[in-house]
Amino acid sequence: MNGVRIAEVVGKVFADTGDAMRENGITTEAEIPQDLMVQGNANLLYSVFRNLTDNVIRHAGQRVRILVRVLDQRDGCVRFSFADTGSGVRDEEHLNRLFERFYRLNEGRTRETGGSGLGLSIVRNAIVFHGGNISVKNREGGGLEFVFTLKSMEN
């Protein structure tokens, strides 16, 4: 796999979704070293951050904040956090199912209002393809936090 500069990937996602984020009052912050390189496919890693961002735009509410940061680096892996300050998932039993294909919290959602239910499945599969793992939890104070690992280029 090639080396991918994650700060550039995240920057491109935020630029590509900028209009939708401004319409919803969403602000972003990325705490990722500019020189951090992970092993991977740039297009798949773009889809990870794009799907997570699109999820916030569609479901987190108005005037929320997205924070992407590196939690730590060890054992050849980089651990990332992608968090928002939005509404989160009220019923904890749904959290484990968010990565299932076609799963939607509200069955009344249509593709236009709630997506196809594939975005987070794509995220999980892309992370697993890269040899990592991913989990999700409600944040204290609101919103969701996705924590995932990718292999560092420093192996």
How do residues 22-62 score in pLDDT, each as one tens digit? 999 999 999 999 999 999 999 999 999 999 999 999 988 99
By the 8 A CB rule, do 66 and 103 touch?
no
Helix axes 6-16, 42-59, angle to 10 degrees: 40
What angle (nearest 5°) sits at the alpha carbon of residue 132, between those of residues 70 and 136? 65
Kindly report, residue by residue over 98-144, the tens digit of the pLDDT.
666 655 555 444 334 455 557 788 999 999 999 999 999 999 888 99
Q: What is the pTM of this model?
A: 0.88
Residue 75 has pLDDT above 90, yes or no: yes
How do 144-151 and 37-40 pair as beta strands? unpaired
Helix ranges restricted to H, the chain: 6-16, 18-23, 42-59, 111-114, 119-129
Q: What is the pLDDT of residue 108?
A: 41
Domains of the chain, CATH where assigned: 2-151 (3.30.565.10)
Hey, is 62 helix, strand or coil? coil
Mean pLDDT of 62-70: 97
pLDDT score at 88: 79
CA torsion sign, 59 to 71 to 19 to 112? Answer: negative
Q: Which neighbouring-strand residues pair with 152?
A: 38
pLDDT of residue 119: 75
